[in-house]
Amino acid sequence: MQGTRKRKQTHLQPSAKSPKSTVNSGCAAAAAASVESPFPDYPRPTPEECCSVRDDLLSLHGFPEEFVKYRNQRSKTKSKSADFGEDDDERESVLDGLVKTILSQNTTELNSERAFNSLKSAFPIWDHVLAAESKCIEDAIRCGGLAPTKSSCIKNLLSSLVERKGKLCMEYLRESSIDEVKAELSLFKGIGPKTVSCVLMFHLQHDDFPVDTHVFQIAKTMGWIPSSANIKNTYLHLNNRIPDELKFDLNCLLYTHGKICRRCSNKKVGKKNKEVEDLGCPLVAYSKQIIVENKIPKEYQMSKVGT
């Protein structure tokens, strides 16, 4: 989902703070996820931790402005407002969302947005993109980086979609389950697990929890995963442990915090600034929780929780 910084640091405007949450029976149901955690005996994060971290980050940052429109769409979907009425035109198509996600890889949000707008300006409809020469597509999206790779992925996606469905539309995925969406999108060359997870959460309003480098590093710093975990099994573990109703807000907040907090992103912090960093980050308290308190099994105790 690296050389110089690949994601811009945004200055967040505090939004209205939601009240402190209590963990209801739905939170406990997180353990009933369809895919078992690769670390079934690892006790973190608890539903209570997830609620607390979400609330602490919300108090610190407010809700990230860049994700507000997706949050609003989720609210309408969850309230079963199938008819978006006047707002229907504002809802992105699934295909638009998928291409935006492809263009967002290894670049900043600003450059990703510019690349998408440039692509749509050059080719207003997807049929035009499909008919265009690859070089023309590359030129349109060059500002987003990795133009040849992303152009090839987009062309393959559109070609395969027409071949399989007869038209350039993916709205049929709105009626599909998480497992069905994963199975369907895995058929398209170049569409990886993180891209699928982002489409599920942002564009299909499903309860999924994408894991990028920011989220992975914070989870590791807080001891939410064993030190042996990689991004793939971290995705499985966190989707199993985090309550569905917290996944969207918590993911957006962890991602945003990871871009801003040098400590949580594991960037080097000088001794002079370390105390300031620790005092300013609300996640320090979670990363310093001891093994005994959380009853972490012996096989995971070498995970060095909190390092």
Crossing angle (nearest 10°) for helices 213-222 and 231-241: 70
* Residue 101 CA, distance from chain mean position: 10
Contact between 64 and 111 (Cβ < 8 Å): no
Closest CA to 168 of 218, 217, 124: 124
194 tagged catalytic = yes
Closest CA to 155 of 176, 177, 138: 138
Cis peptide before 14 (omega within 30 of 0): no
Within the chain, how many helices (H) and strands (E) appear? Answer: 16, 0
Q: How far apart are CA 250 and CA 73, in angstroms?
A: 17
Task: Extract the tokens encoding 4.
Answer: 């110089």
Q: In the chain, what's the furthest Cα-to-Cα distance?
A: 61
Task: Extract the tokens encoding 231.
Answer: 């991004």
Active-site hit among 100, 150, 194, 247: 194
Closest CA to 118 of 137, 99, 94, 133: 137
Tell me which residues are annotated as active site: 194
